[in-house]
Structure 1
Amino acid sequence: MPKISANGIEIEYETRGDAAGDPLVLIGGLGVQLMSWNETFVKALADAGFYVIVYDNRDVGKSTKFEDWGPADIPAAFAQARAKEKVTAPYTLDDLADDAAELVLALGFDKAHFVGSSNGGAIAQTLAYRRPECVKSMASIMATSARRGLPRPEGAAAEWLTRPRNPAGTREGAMEDAVETAKIIGSPAFPVEERVLRERAGALFDRSFYPDGNGRHLLASLASGDSRVAHLGEIKAPVVVIHGREDPLVPLGCAEDVHNSIPGSEIVVIDGMGHDIPDEAVPVIVAAIVKNAKKA
């Protein structure tokens, strides 16, 4: 896969679809590698006429790592955030947003459509007001505004959020973790076969198992806090907010706040969907993205 220098780092990326199509960038969430995206979803976007660009965020996959920083102390960072104390991090959502913008420019485009999922949705929101000249349209999927007082994950989902990913560091452990994760935050109405989950997890482990990056991504989100709330109303690009009604990790109220904070945005709620993009929801999600992109 190709790499490109952008924003002072090396970013690994991949493209799908006709290069003459409208560029659309997929921004992944915490620790999400470019090959983590649902292939049915990526193909459907390419079939809809987009030139799809997927990439590894900094500290993920094959892009530049920030190893000198060391592992993140997530429990301590959560405690600091709740006490409204400053959380120190090697980078913030602003930096991750700038990475996406500079990637597009480095690839020779003036602007693109952006689709962010989970923490990638937070990055996309940041990008839409921070670098508006680069954004044709934006879709925020499974993401929160980070406004204080919004619903939080509870029970198993809350415990999963701070749990180390595959502490054994083995390929089998990665596969077991993927199966357990799907049970906790996956779509209850659209379960994925265990065989498929294990195959995907094994392939991701083989490509790049790097839990420290996942932790530092969460640290970046905590360090950014609710800073973007004050800026969401500045977003001028067409925005669609897409969310699963049964999302246990980012409850629906969080997405509703994103929608209510961005003037002119639309919201699409999918019954039975949790914190993933199941094949069954792809037609609805892609239709919403296409509709929103046409407004640009």
Structure 2
Amino acid sequence: MNMLKVNGIELAYDSYGSETDETVLLIAGLGTQMIRWTIPFCEMLAARGYRVIRFDNRDTGLSTHFSHHDTLDFETLARTLMSGQLPNIPYTLEDMSDDTIGLLDALGIAKAHIVGRSMGGMIAQLVASRYPARVLSLTSIMSTTGNPELPQTSPEVMALMTRPAPNPVKDEAGYIAHSVAFARRIAGTGYPFEENEYRSMIREEVQRAYDPGSIGRQIAAIAVSGDRRPQLAKVNVPSLVIHGVEDPMFAPACGKDTAQVITGAEFMLLEGMGHDLPTQLFETVVDGIVRTARSSVKDSI
């Protein structure tokens, strides 16, 4: 694990593969750390001939946290937005896309293939639309455009995601059980739910950094990000949109909308997949990322 000063903050990152190969930059999702891009996934991608970089977004993991800001109350946030006002938030998804480019700058990487999952997909979309000269290809996984007409996450799933969790310092078992229950709820039914692996990952995340307020701050950043379709319509790099048929967080229509807005984007709809990335689908997803990355080389010839 390495640290770099980026965009006025510190970002923690890992790198796999040869530094002379083209870079695939992996962006994690809401409230999760870079370890959600597992080492086997990163190594599988690196074995295809890429330098693979994963990193902790701001406010997660070992990167800079914004704990000095007040914890956001979800009901207050909703009321503020419904009144037409913008809440006072510490950062936006645009800031997080600037972090991504700042990391590339700090590493001396001119261009990269950008891959993001969930909130990371939103950040990846912004990177591709705001920094077209820095992006070789885009892969947006289990994400959405911000189109207000799309199906919304069910109140039941939102309640599970935002309900207070036990403090892991005082009740580690309770915290892990809470987190595993949510992971199980948003997972698809097409593949076995790997509870032991989830428990280990959640425990590792807690040991790396525990900040109960970060998920609220990131939800606020998503809430004010608005509709990205006008920006996505300008994206002109090879693009792939991957989505699960059983995704309860963002319905498949969200992935379809993303693919329809980006000119020439491929839409990969996966049976049995929810808002998760089962190990059984690693090869399928890696194949898609690599196929999209290689098409960027063909387009440049």
TM (normalized to structure 1)?
0.95
Distance in 2 separating the partners of 1:295 and 1:117: 21
Aligned to 1:93: 93
Aligned to 2:299: none
Aligned to 1:65: 65
CA shift, 1:16, in A, is 1.1
Relative distance call for 1:267 and 1:165 in structure 2 (3 A) is farther
- After superposition, the CA RMSD in angstroms is 1.6
Residues 170-217 of structure 1: per-residue CA shift (max 9 Å, x gap)? 322331123201221012111333222212211111111112112111
Count of residue pairs brought into register by the alignment: 295
Compare 77-86 and 286-295 and name the one that shifted more.
77-86
Is 1:254–2:254 an aligned residue pair?
Answer: yes
CA shift, 1:167, in A, is 5.2
Compare 56-65 and 37-46 and name the one that shifted more.
37-46
CA shift, 1:134, in A, is 1.3
CA shift, 1:274, in A, is 0.4
Given that residues 36 and 204 in structure 1 are in contact (C-alpha distance below 8 angstroms), is that contact kept between their aligned partners in structure 2? no
Is 1:224–2:234 an aligned residue pair?
Answer: no
Distance in 2 separating the partners of 1:82 and 1:161: 21
Aligned to 2:215: 214
Distance in 2 separating the partners of 1:139 and 1:79: 33
3-state DSSP of counterpart to 1:275: coil
Aligned to 1:119: 119
Distance in 2 separating the partners of 1:163 and 1:180: 12
Distance in 2 separating the partners of 1:83 and 1:184: 32
CA shift, 1:166, in A, is 4.0
Distance in 2 separating the partners of 1:229 and 1:250: 16
The share of aligned pairs that are identical, in percent, is 36
Aligned to 2:2: 2
Unaligned runs of 5+ in 2: 297-301
Relative distance call for 1:126 and 1:165 in structure 2 (3 A) is farther
Distance in 1 separating the partners of 2:241 and 2:119: 13
Given that residues 246 and 273 in structure 2 are in contact (C-alpha distance below 8 angstroms), is that contact kept between their aligned partners in structure 1? yes
CA shift, 1:75, in A, is 2.2
Aligned to 1:15: 15
Given that residues 2 and 14 in structure 1 are in contact (C-alpha distance below 8 angstroms), is that contact kept between their aligned partners in structure 2? yes
Aligned to 1:171: 172
Given that residues 34 and 55 in structure 2 are in contact (C-alpha distance below 8 angstroms), is that contact kept between their aligned partners in structure 1? yes
CA shift, 1:148, in A, is 0.6
Distance in 1 separating the partners of 2:84 and 2:262: 25
Given that residues 174 and 202 in structure 1 are in contact (C-alpha distance below 8 angstroms), is that contact kept between their aligned partners in structure 2? no
Relative distance call for 1:244 and 1:166 in structure 2 (3 A) is farther
Unaligned runs of 5+ in 1: none
Compare 118-127 and 43-52 and name the one that shifted more.
43-52
Is 1:199–2:200 an aligned residue pair?
Answer: yes
CA shift, 1:69, in A, is 1.2
AA aligned to 1:211 is P
Distance in 2 separating the partners of 1:94 and 1:130: 9
Aligned to 2:143: 143
Compare 34-43 and 63-72 and name the one that shifted more.
34-43
Residues 57-81 of structure 1: per-residue CA shift (max 9 Å, x gap)? 1111111111221211222212333
AA aligned to 2:94 is D
3-state DSSP of counterpart to 2:243: strand
CA shift, 1:40, in A, is 3.1
3-state DSSP of counterpart to 2:52: strand
Given that residues 168 and 206 in structure 2 are in contact (C-alpha distance below 8 angstroms), is that contact kept between their aligned partners in structure 1? no
Given that residues 190 and 273 in structure 1 are in contact (C-alpha distance below 8 angstroms), is that contact kept between their aligned partners in structure 2? yes
Residues 83-138 of structure 1: per-residue CA shift (max 9 Å, x gap)? 54323311111000010011011101101111000000000001111111211111
